[in-house]
Amino acid sequence: MDQSFFLDISSYLGLVATVLLTINVLLGMMLSTSYKKHKYWTQLPEKFKQVNVFWVHNCTAYVGLLIVLLHPLFLLLAPATNFKFYDIIFPINAPYQKLFVALGTISTYALIFVLITSQKVIKNKMKYHTWKNIHLISYGTALLFFIHGIVMDPQLKDRSLDLFDAEKLVSESCLLLILAGVYLRFKYHLRKNIGKEKSLQL
């Protein structure tokens, strides 16, 4: 079978994982707010409001992680890439773009860490603020994953970066959505703190 087939599968899995993890992070931001009181939520059809957002958030995390783990394994099926399993789990000597391969590996480890600490058995043994600070790693994880996806050449030919390539546009669009989400979440945080200060003054 043509080795480019396995490279394409790896690339497509990376894009699917990027979309799923983008949805996951955005839902996580939403869950950390009083979204059910917002006018946009209250105006949604009842069918949408009945969706278990927390379940979707968890589902996108676990499915996203599974796809992230599968994504580099297809490189091993294309011998011409010279990738070995060791290069995936510890890419210090990866045959191509080792820095950006490393970013993908680091983001994978960070995602696993966040998911492990989100298990009820572990989470209940931690202070809320400790857990929350650990959970914030997901923002850095997303950033590393986006850089990995945008800069890496999916054909591993060290071609120059084309920011207008269709695959790159998917990652770039997801990055912009996350940045917009962070901005809106920060505004919500500021409004909430201002509201608390006013209530204390009264």
pLDDT at site 202: 52
Residue recorded with tokens 């999916």 = 154
d(CA 42, CA 35): 9
Residue ranges in the chain whose pLDDT is less than 70? 1-2, 194-202
Domain that holds residue 172: 3-201
Q: Residue 111: which residues within 8 A CB-CB, separation 6 or more?
A: 21, 61, 64, 65, 68, 138, 141
Global pTM? Answer: 0.89
Please give the tally of structural domains in the chain. 1
d(CA 48, CA 44): 6
Strand, coil or helix: 84: coil
pLDDT at site 139: 83
Residue recorded with tokens 């497509």 = 12
pLDDT at site 62: 95
pLDDT at site 78: 84
d(CA 153, CA 96): 9
